[in-house]
Amino acid sequence: MKTNLKDKLNLIKANNYASKIDGVSSFNISFLHENEFVWHRERLMEINKIDNIIKKKVFNLPIKRNVLVREVESTLNVKKDTICNLFYYENICISFCVENFSNFILSLFKINRTYDFSLTLTSPDRVIVLSDNEYDIHLYNIQK
């Protein structure tokens, strides 16, 4: 497979991003193909609609970072050694083997400089989105 310059640069950026994430034992970076994560991508598109009516948990701002992490972690009940996938740019997937979900979330907050993130899991199929809406934060947890 030939990789163009833009894709090569995106892979380097994804590697730099993933290297800064705490709470993981390893990560893998790959290109996304049309037939991969189809269910997950459809759910993400639904969540990203402005007028979505998807069930969510709402946190009022301001909120302390550690309190938010504890609430998110207890709601999601993610176990140790879980594979979390993060879609990076339009065609790259970073798969993290998460050892410590609290540290993982905290590092996402730090690197992204916001309370926004979208994660997908495949065992079981699941989409997790935390969305900072300026006045409150929405947590979506959709399972197949």
| Spatial contact of 131 and 142, defined as CB atoms under 8 Å apart | no
Residue type at position 4: N
Q: At 2, is the pLDDT very low, low, confident or very high (cuts 50, 70, 90)?
A: low
Q: pLDDT tens-digit profile of 4-39?
A: 888 889 999 999 999 999 999 999 999 999 999 999
Question: In the prediction, which pLDDT does 96 show?
Answer: 97
137 contacts 63 by C-beta, under 8 angstroms: yes
Spatial CB neighbours of 65, under 8 Å, sequence gap ≥ 6: 106, 109
Once rounded to an integer, what is the mean pLDDT over residues 70-83?
Answer: 85
Amino acid, res. 37: F
| 1 has pLDDT over 60 | no
- Token look-up 């176990």 returns 79
Stated pTM of the model = 0.91
Whether the pLDDT of residue 49 is over 90: the answer is: no
To the nearest whole number, what is the mean pLDDT of the chain? 92
CB of 123 within 8 A of CB of 83?
yes
Overall average pLDDT of the 73-91 stretch: 87
Contact 140, 56 (CB under 8 A): yes
φ and ψ at residue 68, rounded to 5 degrees: -60, -45
